[in-house]
């Protein structure tokens, strides 16, 4: 990404792999697994992507053009529609590849191609390196029913902002608005915010129930603005144990298998009793 004087172009590379979290710009090379709907595109474009940022920063009041760019042509969508995000919130009115803004605030910007929202670019700070951002350690977590799980999370904001409302939200269906977790009676006494009003935003849920399976998102407000929740958060899947019976062989032996519906994140190779 190159940033020069007024009227210069800020290039944001759109990663053609599944982004696990909102990564910092210091991570030059990262490798991620494919998503179910992007394997073809990711295979054609390769697995490694790089975000480059020049040493120069924009000045307040300067107009900067942001360009959402892929490192290869999408074979199934040569003329895509683009999606822009500011501070984690989707900008519905901006659909072009380029987006010109006047730099007055330490906002973070990101982009994606419509239909490939999971392959969004990392958030980019334009004015300095200390802007709004939220990072989820895990894109998805699988945990056992009745156990305790922690959803690790970190966030940042400009130093002149003071956080007033750090909250977690739950989104059970993709077409529904997230609900603030503290207002859902089923989580009373079980969901606890372990984070602070600076950097850490980890959430703990005890006595897990299968109905806790949902997508969890963190949002915070300051005295001036707030971080949105258009970005994906951490998807939690709560699984119980079940016994599967394999039909008898010619010798009359049955095979019993103890299994879960997903691989446990904290214990992928458990010992069974």
- Identify the CA nearest to 25 among candidates 36, 39, 10, 35: 10
Rounded to 5°, the CA angle 73-117-191 comes to 155
Paired tokens of 190: 């079980």
Edge-to-edge strand ranges of the sheet holding 98-103 = 9-13, 62-69, 98-103
How is domain 48-129 classified at the CATH fold level? Immunoglobulin-like (2.60.40)
Is 61:104 a contact under the CB 8 Å cutoff? yes
Beta bridge partners of 134: 155
User: Domain spans of the chain?
Assistant: 48-129, 132-264
Determine the Cα–Cα distance for residues 209 and 215; give it in Å rounded to an integer.
Answer: 14
What confidence tens digit (pLDDT) does each residue in 58-78 have? Answer: 777 788 888 887 766 666 677
CATH number corresponding to 132-264: 2.60.40.10
Mean pLDDT of 124-138: 83
**For residue 143, pLDDT beyond 90:** yes
**For residue 18, pLDDT beyond 80:** no
Higher local confidence (pLDDT), 68 or 23: 68
pLDDT value at position 113?
82
Domain 48-129 matches domain 132-264 at the CATH topology level? yes
Is 99:86 a contact under the CB 8 Å cutoff? no
Question: pTM above the 0.75 mark?
Answer: no
Mean pLDDT of 233-262: 87
What confidence tens digit (pLDDT) does each residue in 158-178 have? Answer: 888 899 889 999 987 666 778
- Identify the CA nearest to 14 among candidates 119, 167, 142, 94: 119
Supply the mean pLDDT for the chain: 75
**Greatest mean pLDDT range, 12-16, 55-59, 92-96:** 92-96
Q: Which parts of 7-148 are beta strand (E)? A: 9-13, 62-69, 82-86, 89-91, 98-103, 108-113, 124-125, 133-136, 140-144
**Greatest mean pLDDT range, 33-37, 68-72, 93-97:** 93-97
Paired tokens of 134: 């939220």
pLDDT value at position 201?
95
**For residue 9, pLDDT beyond 90:** no
């Amino acid at each position: 990404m190159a940033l020069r004087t007024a009227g210069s172009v800020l290039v944001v590379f759109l990663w053609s792999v599944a982004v696990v979290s909102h990564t910092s710009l210091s991570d030059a090379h990262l490798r991620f697994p494919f998503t179910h709907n992007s394997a073809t595109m990711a295979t054609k474009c390769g697995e490694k992507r790089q975000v480059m940022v020049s040493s120069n920063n924009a000045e307040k009041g300067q107009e900067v053009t942001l360009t959402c760019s892929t490192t290869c042509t999408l074979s199934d969508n040569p003329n895509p529609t683009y999606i822009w995000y500011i501070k984690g919130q989707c900008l519905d009115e901006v659909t072009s590849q380029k987006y010109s803004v006047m730099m007055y605030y330490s906002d973070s910007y990101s982009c994606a191609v419509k239909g490939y929202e999971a392959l969004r670019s990392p958030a980019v700070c334009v004015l300095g390196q200390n802007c709004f951002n939220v990072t989820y350690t895990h894109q998805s977590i699988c945990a056992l029913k009745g156990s305790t799980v922690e959803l690790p999370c970190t966030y940042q904001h400009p130093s002149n902002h003071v956080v007033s409302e750090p909250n977690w939200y739950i989104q059970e269906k993709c077409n529904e608005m997230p609900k603030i977790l503290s207002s859902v009676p089923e989580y009373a006494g079980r969901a606890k915010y372990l984070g602070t009003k600076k950097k850490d935003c980890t959430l703990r849920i005890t006595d897990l129930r299968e109905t806790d399976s949902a997508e969890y998102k963190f949002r915070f407000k300051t005295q001036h603005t707030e971080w949105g929740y258009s970005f994906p958060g951490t998807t939690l899947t709560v699984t119980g144990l079940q016994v599967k019976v394999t039909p008898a062989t010619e010798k009359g032996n049955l095979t019993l298998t103890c299994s879960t519906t997903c691989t446990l994140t904290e214990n992928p190779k458990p010992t069974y009793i």
